[in-house]
Chain A
Protein backbone atom coordinates (compact mmCIF):
# COMPACT_ATOMS: atom_id res chain seq x y z
CA UNK A 1 0.00 0.00 0.00
CA UNK A 2 1.59 3.23 -1.05
CA UNK A 3 -0.89 5.50 0.66
CA UNK A 4 1.11 7.13 3.36
CA UNK A 5 -1.52 8.97 5.39
CA UNK A 6 0.82 11.74 6.54
CA UNK A 7 2.53 13.98 4.06
CA UNK A 8 5.41 14.73 6.37
CA UNK A 9 7.79 14.94 3.46
CA UNK A 10 6.17 18.09 2.18
CA UNK A 11 7.98 21.05 3.79
CA UNK A 12 4.84 23.13 3.58
CA UNK A 13 2.69 20.70 5.52
CA UNK A 14 5.44 19.95 8.02
CA UNK A 15 6.08 23.57 8.91
CA UNK A 16 2.38 24.22 9.34
CA UNK A 17 2.19 21.19 11.59
CA UNK A 18 5.08 22.38 13.72
CA UNK A 19 3.94 25.80 14.73
CA UNK A 20 0.25 25.74 14.06
CA UNK A 21 -2.28 26.52 16.69
CA UNK A 22 -5.40 24.45 16.70
CA UNK A 23 -7.95 26.40 14.78
CA UNK A 24 -11.63 26.22 15.45
CA UNK A 25 -13.70 24.97 12.61
CA UNK A 26 -16.74 27.16 12.07
CA UNK A 27 -19.81 25.53 13.56
CA UNK A 28 -21.92 25.82 10.48
CA UNK A 29 -21.52 25.49 6.77
CA UNK A 30 -24.35 26.08 4.34
CA UNK A 31 -24.54 22.46 3.40
CA UNK A 32 -23.87 20.71 6.67
CA UNK A 33 -25.56 17.35 6.48
CA UNK A 34 -27.32 15.54 7.81
CA UNK A 35 -28.88 17.75 10.43
CA UNK A 36 -29.00 16.52 13.97
CA UNK A 37 -32.38 16.04 15.61
CA UNK A 38 -33.61 19.09 17.45
CA UNK A 39 -34.20 17.50 20.83
CA UNK A 40 -32.58 19.17 23.79
CA UNK A 41 -29.22 17.92 25.03
CA UNK A 42 -29.46 15.59 28.00
CA UNK A 43 -26.89 17.02 30.33
CA UNK A 44 -26.80 20.80 30.61
CA UNK A 45 -23.23 21.89 30.00
CA UNK A 46 -21.58 23.93 32.73
CA UNK A 47 -20.24 26.57 30.36
CA UNK A 48 -22.99 26.05 27.84
CA UNK A 49 -20.41 25.34 25.16
CA UNK A 50 -20.12 22.19 23.14
CA UNK A 51 -16.84 20.41 23.91
CA UNK A 52 -14.29 20.42 21.09
CA UNK A 53 -12.33 17.55 19.67
CA UNK A 54 -9.02 17.86 17.87
CA UNK A 55 -9.35 16.40 14.40
CA UNK A 56 -6.31 15.94 12.20
CA UNK A 57 -7.12 15.81 8.49
CA UNK A 58 -4.57 13.81 6.50
CA UNK A 59 -4.60 13.72 2.74
CA UNK A 60 -3.89 10.29 1.23
CA UNK A 61 -3.64 8.94 -2.27
CA UNK A 62 -2.58 12.25 -3.75
CA UNK A 63 -5.46 14.27 -2.32
CA UNK A 64 -4.82 18.03 -2.22
CA UNK A 65 -3.33 19.16 1.07
CA UNK A 66 -4.69 21.92 3.25
CA UNK A 67 -2.38 24.41 4.98
CA UNK A 68 -4.17 23.74 8.21
CA UNK A 69 -4.39 20.12 9.23
CA UNK A 70 -5.44 20.33 12.89
CA UNK A 71 -8.90 21.57 13.65
CA UNK A 72 -10.99 21.97 16.74
CA UNK A 73 -14.39 20.57 15.92
CA UNK A 74 -17.61 20.55 17.96
CA UNK A 75 -17.93 17.04 19.34
CA UNK A 76 -21.51 16.80 18.08
CA UNK A 77 -20.56 17.54 14.48
CA UNK A 78 -20.75 14.83 11.88
CA UNK A 79 -18.43 13.47 9.23
CA UNK A 80 -20.84 14.99 6.71
CA UNK A 81 -20.12 18.40 8.19
CA UNK A 82 -16.37 17.87 7.88
CA UNK A 83 -16.89 16.64 4.33
CA UNK A 84 -18.67 19.82 3.28
CA UNK A 85 -16.02 21.86 5.09
CA UNK A 86 -13.19 20.19 3.16
CA UNK A 87 -15.12 20.50 -0.08
CA UNK A 88 -15.27 24.24 0.47
CA UNK A 89 -11.64 24.54 1.48
CA UNK A 90 -10.46 22.59 -1.53
CA UNK A 91 -13.17 24.09 -3.78
CA UNK A 92 -14.31 20.69 -4.93
CA UNK A 93 -17.21 20.40 -7.31
CA UNK A 94 -20.38 18.59 -6.32
CA UNK A 95 -19.50 15.84 -8.75
CA UNK A 96 -16.03 15.34 -7.25
CA UNK A 97 -15.89 12.41 -4.91
CA UNK A 98 -14.40 12.62 -1.45
CA UNK A 99 -13.71 9.67 0.86
CA UNK A 100 -12.85 9.48 4.55
CA UNK A 101 -11.10 6.72 6.39
CA UNK A 102 -10.50 5.96 10.03
CA UNK A 103 -7.70 3.61 11.16
CA UNK A 104 -6.69 3.09 7.54
CA UNK A 105 -9.52 0.64 7.28
CA UNK A 106 -13.12 1.77 7.18
CA UNK A 107 -15.12 4.72 5.89
CA UNK A 108 -17.40 6.12 8.59
CA UNK A 109 -20.97 6.96 7.70
CA UNK A 110 -21.59 10.64 6.95
CA UNK A 111 -23.99 10.95 9.90
CA UNK A 112 -21.47 9.52 12.38
CA UNK A 113 -20.43 12.07 15.00
CA UNK A 114 -16.88 13.16 15.71
CA UNK A 115 -17.41 12.32 19.39
CA UNK A 116 -18.29 8.67 18.72
CA UNK A 117 -15.32 8.18 16.40
CA UNK A 118 -13.00 9.87 18.86
CA UNK A 119 -14.28 7.72 21.73
CA UNK A 120 -13.69 4.53 19.77
CA UNK A 121 -10.76 5.33 17.50
CA UNK A 122 -9.08 8.45 18.88
CA UNK A 123 -5.47 8.33 20.03
CA UNK A 124 -3.24 10.83 21.82
CA UNK A 125 -6.19 13.12 22.37
CA UNK A 126 -7.03 13.49 18.72
CA UNK A 127 -8.94 11.86 15.93
CA UNK A 128 -7.05 11.26 12.71
CA UNK A 129 -9.17 11.31 9.58
CA UNK A 130 -7.67 10.40 6.24
CA UNK A 131 -9.35 11.94 3.22
CA UNK A 132 -8.89 11.23 -0.44
CA UNK A 133 -10.47 11.77 -3.80
CA UNK A 134 -10.49 8.12 -4.80
CA UNK A 135 -11.16 5.03 -2.73
CA UNK A 136 -8.04 4.14 -0.77
CA UNK A 137 -8.97 1.16 1.36
CA UNK A 138 -11.75 -0.60 -0.57
Chain B
Protein backbone atom coordinates (compact mmCIF):
# COMPACT_ATOMS: atom_id res chain seq x y z
CA UNK B 1 0.00 0.00 0.00
CA UNK B 2 2.88 2.33 0.80
CA UNK B 3 3.93 2.56 -2.83
CA UNK B 4 0.50 3.89 -3.71
CA UNK B 5 0.62 6.75 -1.21
CA UNK B 6 0.93 9.15 -4.13
CA UNK B 7 -2.48 8.06 -5.32
CA UNK B 8 -4.05 8.57 -1.89
CA UNK B 9 -2.53 12.03 -1.80
CA UNK B 10 -3.78 12.91 -5.30
CA UNK B 11 -7.29 11.84 -4.39
CA UNK B 12 -7.11 13.78 -1.13
CA UNK B 13 -6.05 16.92 -2.95
CA UNK B 14 -8.88 16.83 -5.48
CA UNK B 15 -10.55 20.26 -5.49
CA UNK B 16 -13.53 21.83 -7.22
CA UNK B 17 -13.97 25.54 -7.91
CA UNK B 18 -17.46 26.60 -6.86
CA UNK B 19 -19.30 29.84 -7.56
CA UNK B 20 -21.99 30.43 -4.90
CA UNK B 21 -24.81 32.86 -5.69
CA UNK B 22 -27.65 33.91 -3.40
CA UNK B 23 -31.08 32.97 -4.78
CA UNK B 24 -32.40 36.14 -6.40
CA UNK B 25 -35.80 35.93 -4.71
CA UNK B 26 -34.09 35.97 -1.31
CA UNK B 27 -32.00 39.12 -1.89
CA UNK B 28 -33.34 41.85 0.40
CA UNK B 29 -30.69 44.51 -0.24
CA UNK B 30 -30.94 47.08 -3.07
CA UNK B 31 -27.89 45.59 -4.75
CA UNK B 32 -27.46 41.83 -5.01
CA UNK B 33 -24.34 40.51 -3.26
CA UNK B 34 -21.37 39.45 -5.37
CA UNK B 35 -21.02 35.77 -6.02
CA UNK B 36 -18.63 33.97 -3.66
CA UNK B 37 -15.89 31.81 -5.15
CA UNK B 38 -14.29 28.95 -3.26
CA UNK B 39 -12.01 26.00 -3.99
CA UNK B 40 -13.46 23.12 -2.04
CA UNK B 41 -12.01 19.65 -1.39
CA UNK B 42 -13.92 16.93 -3.20
CA UNK B 43 -13.67 14.61 -0.20
CA UNK B 44 -15.31 16.84 2.39
CA UNK B 45 -18.90 17.87 3.12
CA UNK B 46 -20.41 21.25 2.34
CA UNK B 47 -21.23 22.22 5.96
CA UNK B 48 -17.51 21.92 6.80
CA UNK B 49 -16.40 24.49 4.22
CA UNK B 50 -19.27 26.95 3.83
CA UNK B 51 -19.08 29.07 7.00
CA UNK B 52 -17.62 31.89 4.92
CA UNK B 53 -20.31 31.50 2.30
CA UNK B 54 -22.96 31.87 4.97
CA UNK B 55 -21.33 34.99 6.43
CA UNK B 56 -21.02 36.54 2.98
CA UNK B 57 -24.69 36.12 2.07
CA UNK B 58 -26.59 36.20 5.35
CA UNK B 59 -26.43 40.00 5.60
CA UNK B 60 -28.32 40.28 2.32
CA UNK B 61 -31.42 38.37 3.42
CA UNK B 62 -34.22 39.68 5.62
CA UNK B 63 -33.29 39.71 9.35
CA UNK B 64 -35.99 37.15 10.26
CA UNK B 65 -34.10 34.59 8.18
CA UNK B 66 -30.65 35.25 9.66
CA UNK B 67 -30.78 32.22 11.95
CA UNK B 68 -32.20 29.88 9.33
CA UNK B 69 -30.19 26.92 8.19
CA UNK B 70 -28.53 27.57 4.84
CA UNK B 71 -29.05 25.09 2.03
CA UNK B 72 -27.63 24.69 -1.45
CA UNK B 73 -29.18 23.95 -4.79
CA UNK B 74 -27.90 23.04 -8.24
CA UNK B 75 -30.31 23.09 -11.18
CA UNK B 76 -33.31 22.55 -8.91
CA UNK B 77 -31.63 19.67 -7.03
CA UNK B 78 -31.29 20.48 -3.31
CA UNK B 79 -27.78 19.25 -2.46
CA UNK B 80 -27.63 16.64 0.30
CA UNK B 81 -25.08 17.84 2.84
CA UNK B 82 -24.37 14.24 3.89
CA UNK B 83 -23.04 13.32 0.46
CA UNK B 84 -19.37 14.19 -0.09
CA UNK B 85 -18.94 17.21 -2.38
CA UNK B 86 -17.14 15.23 -5.10
CA UNK B 87 -19.99 12.74 -5.22
CA UNK B 88 -22.59 15.52 -5.63
CA UNK B 89 -20.58 16.95 -8.50
CA UNK B 90 -20.13 13.58 -10.23
CA UNK B 91 -23.81 12.86 -9.73
CA UNK B 92 -25.37 16.10 -10.93
CA UNK B 93 -22.96 17.93 -13.22
CA UNK B 94 -23.11 16.19 -16.56
CA UNK B 95 -21.35 18.79 -18.71
CA UNK B 96 -18.31 19.15 -16.39
CA UNK B 97 -18.84 22.89 -16.36
CA UNK B 98 -16.55 24.82 -14.01
CA UNK B 99 -16.76 26.70 -11.78
CA UNK B 100 -19.70 24.79 -10.40
CA UNK B 101 -22.64 27.21 -10.14
CA UNK B 102 -24.48 26.67 -6.86
CA UNK B 103 -27.44 28.67 -5.54
CA UNK B 104 -27.56 29.54 -1.84
CA UNK B 105 -30.86 29.59 0.08
CA UNK B 106 -31.90 30.60 3.58
CA UNK B 107 -35.62 30.18 3.06
CA UNK B 108 -37.97 27.22 2.56
CA UNK B 109 -35.62 24.44 3.66
CA UNK B 110 -36.69 21.40 1.61
CA UNK B 111 -36.74 19.07 4.59
CA UNK B 112 -38.78 16.49 2.71
CA UNK B 113 -35.85 16.10 0.32
CA UNK B 114 -32.71 16.69 2.34
CA UNK B 115 -31.79 16.07 5.95
CA UNK B 116 -31.25 18.91 8.38
CA UNK B 117 -27.75 19.76 9.50
CA UNK B 118 -27.99 22.05 12.52
CA UNK B 119 -24.29 21.78 13.42
CA UNK B 120 -20.95 20.26 12.50
CA UNK B 121 -21.49 17.68 15.25
CA UNK B 122 -24.16 16.15 13.05
CA UNK B 123 -21.61 15.80 10.24
CA UNK B 124 -19.15 14.16 12.65
CA UNK B 125 -21.81 11.70 13.76
CA UNK B 126 -22.72 10.95 10.15
CA UNK B 127 -19.07 10.32 9.26
CA UNK B 128 -18.55 8.06 12.28
CA UNK B 129 -21.62 5.96 11.56
CA UNK B 130 -20.69 5.64 7.88
CA UNK B 131 -17.22 4.49 8.96
CA UNK B 132 -18.80 1.95 11.31
CA UNK B 133 -21.07 0.68 8.58
CA UNK B 134 -18.13 0.36 6.20
CA UNK B 135 -16.12 -1.41 8.89
CA UNK B 136 -19.06 -3.74 9.59
CA UNK B 137 -18.80 -4.79 5.93
CA UNK B 138 -15.00 -4.96 5.83
CA UNK B 139 -14.13 -6.39 9.25
CA UNK B 140 -17.41 -7.07 11.10
CA UNK B 141 -16.91 -3.70 12.80
CA UNK B 142 -13.95 -5.06 14.76
CA UNK B 143 -11.53 -2.29 13.93
CA UNK B 144 -13.80 0.69 14.63
CA UNK B 145 -14.89 -0.97 17.89
CA UNK B 146 -11.32 -1.58 19.01
CA UNK B 147 -10.06 1.85 17.97
CA UNK B 148 -9.62 4.37 20.71
CA UNK B 149 -11.66 7.53 20.86
CA UNK B 150 -8.47 9.36 19.94
CA UNK B 151 -8.30 7.54 16.60
CA UNK B 152 -11.92 8.37 15.85
CA UNK B 153 -11.06 12.02 16.50
CA UNK B 154 -8.07 11.80 14.15
CA UNK B 155 -10.37 10.68 11.36
CA UNK B 156 -12.82 13.48 12.01
CA UNK B 157 -10.29 16.26 12.63
CA UNK B 158 -8.17 15.12 9.69
CA UNK B 159 -11.13 15.63 7.39
CA UNK B 160 -12.38 18.77 9.13
CA UNK B 161 -9.00 20.51 8.92
CA UNK B 162 -7.97 18.95 5.61
CA UNK B 163 -4.95 17.19 7.11
CA UNK B 164 -3.98 14.16 5.06
CA UNK B 165 -1.40 12.73 7.49
CA UNK B 166 -3.67 13.05 10.50
CA UNK B 167 -6.55 11.33 8.72
CA UNK B 168 -4.48 8.52 7.26
CA UNK B 169 -2.63 7.81 10.53
CA UNK B 170 -5.95 6.35 11.73
CA UNK B 171 -7.53 5.39 8.40
CA UNK B 172 -4.72 2.98 7.46
CA UNK B 173 -5.89 0.74 10.30
CA UNK B 174 -9.30 0.55 8.65
CA UNK B 175 -7.64 -0.50 5.40
CA UNK B 176 -5.87 -3.53 6.89
CA UNK B 177 -6.77 -6.92 5.49
CA UNK B 178 -5.44 -10.39 4.95
CA UNK B 179 -3.15 -10.62 1.96
CA UNK B 180 -5.07 -13.26 -0.02
CA UNK B 181 -8.69 -12.55 0.76
CA UNK B 182 -8.81 -8.78 1.16
CA UNK B 183 -11.80 -7.25 2.96
CA UNK B 184 -14.81 -9.35 3.93
CA UNK B 185 -17.03 -7.27 1.67
CA UNK B 186 -16.39 -4.10 -0.31
CA UNK B 187 -18.27 -1.06 1.08
CA UNK B 188 -19.69 0.74 -1.92
CA UNK B 189 -22.72 2.65 -3.08
CA UNK B 190 -23.76 2.75 -6.68
CA UNK B 191 -25.70 5.78 -7.91
CA UNK B 192 -27.83 5.08 -10.97
CA UNK B 193 -30.68 7.64 -10.89
CA UNK B 194 -31.34 6.93 -14.57
CA UNK B 195 -32.32 3.30 -13.88
CA UNK B 196 -33.67 3.09 -10.36
CA UNK B 197 -35.86 5.27 -8.13
CA UNK B 198 -33.62 4.51 -5.17
CA UNK B 199 -31.02 7.16 -4.31
CA UNK B 200 -28.36 4.45 -4.53
CA UNK B 201 -28.01 0.69 -4.47
CA UNK B 202 -25.84 -1.30 -2.12
CA UNK B 203 -25.31 -5.03 -1.79
CA UNK B 204 -22.70 -7.52 -0.67
CA UNK B 205 -19.73 -8.25 -2.86
CA UNK B 206 -16.44 -9.85 -1.92
CA UNK B 207 -13.15 -8.67 -3.40
CA UNK B 208 -12.05 -12.26 -4.05
CA UNK B 209 -14.19 -15.25 -4.93
CA UNK B 210 -12.89 -18.75 -5.72
CA UNK B 211 -9.40 -17.28 -5.75
CA UNK B 212 -10.40 -14.88 -8.51
CA UNK B 213 -10.05 -11.16 -7.92
CA UNK B 214 -13.36 -9.49 -8.65
CA UNK B 215 -13.38 -6.27 -10.65
CA UNK B 216 -15.70 -3.31 -11.18
CA UNK B 217 -17.46 -5.14 -14.00
CA UNK B 218 -18.37 -8.00 -11.60
CA UNK B 219 -19.85 -5.48 -9.21
CA UNK B 220 -22.03 -3.98 -11.96
CA UNK B 221 -23.20 -7.38 -13.15
CA UNK B 222 -24.66 -8.13 -9.73
CA UNK B 223 -26.74 -4.96 -9.64
CA UNK B 224 -29.45 -6.58 -11.79
CA UNK B 225 -29.77 -3.39 -13.76
CA UNK B 226 -29.67 -3.15 -17.53
CA UNK B 227 -26.95 -0.53 -17.76
CA UNK B 228 -26.62 -0.75 -21.55
CA UNK B 229 -30.31 0.09 -22.04
CA UNK B 230 -29.49 3.80 -21.89
CA UNK B 231 -26.44 3.64 -24.15
CA UNK B 232 -22.74 3.74 -23.46
CA UNK B 233 -21.81 4.66 -19.90
CA UNK B 234 -18.90 5.32 -17.60
CA UNK B 235 -18.31 4.48 -13.97
CA UNK B 236 -17.11 7.66 -12.31
CA UNK B 237 -15.55 8.37 -8.92
CA UNK B 238 -13.57 11.52 -8.02
CA UNK B 239 -14.22 12.65 -11.57
CA UNK B 240 -12.23 9.67 -12.88
CA UNK B 241 -13.61 7.28 -15.47
CA UNK B 242 -12.79 3.93 -13.86
CA UNK B 243 -11.77 1.03 -16.14
CA UNK B 244 -14.19 -1.87 -15.65
CA UNK B 245 -11.29 -4.27 -15.09
CA UNK B 246 -10.10 -2.43 -11.95
CA UNK B 247 -9.85 -4.88 -9.01
CA UNK B 248 -12.37 -4.11 -6.26
CA UNK B 249 -9.90 -4.56 -3.43
CA UNK B 250 -7.48 -2.05 -4.94
CA UNK B 251 -10.13 0.54 -5.71
CA UNK B 252 -11.60 0.17 -2.21
CA UNK B 253 -8.25 0.80 -0.57
CA UNK B 254 -7.27 3.70 -2.76
CA UNK B 255 -10.35 5.46 -4.07
CA UNK B 256 -12.77 5.23 -1.15
CA UNK B 257 -14.08 8.48 0.29
CA UNK B 258 -13.16 9.28 3.92
CA UNK B 259 -16.31 7.46 5.06
CA UNK B 260 -14.59 4.34 3.60
CA UNK B 261 -17.28 3.86 0.96
CA UNK B 262 -16.73 3.81 -2.76
CA UNK B 263 -19.35 6.20 -4.12
CA UNK B 264 -19.63 5.12 -7.75
CA UNK B 265 -21.73 7.12 -10.21
CA UNK B 266 -22.97 5.81 -13.53
CA UNK B 267 -22.70 8.50 -16.16
CA UNK B 268 -24.17 8.29 -19.63
CA UNK B 269 -22.62 10.21 -22.47
CA UNK B 270 -24.58 13.22 -23.63
CA UNK B 271 -26.54 12.67 -26.78
Contact = CB atoms under 8 A, between A and B. Distances in A.
A32 B201 CA distance: 20
A33 B112 contact: yes
Main secondary structure of the interface of A (DSSP, over half): loop
A106 B184 CA distance: 17
Contact of B224 (A34, A36, A38, A43): A43
Contacts of A106: 129-130, 132-133, 136, 141
Given A119-B204, A120-B203, A36 B197 contact: yes
Contacts of A121: 136
A118 to B, nearest CB: 10
Closest 5 CB pairs of A and B: A106-B132, A42-B195, A116-B202, A119-B203, A106-B133
Interface string B120-141: 0000011011101100110001
A101 B115 CA distance: 18
Contact of B136 (A37, A39, A105, A138): A105
B204 to A, nearest CB: 6
Nearest to B134: A106
A115 to B, nearest CB: 7
Interface string B69-89: 000000000001010000000
Interface string A36-62: 111111110000000000000000000
A119 B155 CA distance: 28
A5 interface: no
A36 B199 contact: yes
B145 interface: yes
A113 B191 CA distance: 13
Given A106-B132, A106-B141, A113 B199 contact: yes
Interface residues of B, number: 36
Interface of B: 80, 82, 111-115, 125-126, 128-130, 132-133, 136-137, 141, 144-145, 185, 192-204, 224-226
Interface residues of A, number: 28
A76 B197 contact: yes
A107 interface: yes
Given A113-B198, A119-B204, A120-B203, A105 B132 contact: yes
Interface string A108-122: 111101011001110
Given A42-B225, A106-B136, A121-B136, A37 B128 contact: no
Given A38-B197, A115-B201, 4 more contacts: A35-B112, A105-B144, A110-B115, A119-B204
Interface in A83-138: 102-103, 105-111, 113, 115-116, 119-121, 138
B81 to A, nearest CB: 11
28 contacts: A33-B112, A34-B115, A35-B112, A36-B197, A37-B193, A39-B193, A41-B197, A43-B224, A43-B226, A76-B198, A102-B136, A103-B141, A105-B141, A106-B133, A106-B141, A107-B125, A109-B82, A110-B115, A111-B115, A113-B198, A115-B201, A116-B198, A116-B200, A116-B202, A116-B203, A119-B203, A120-B137, A120-B185
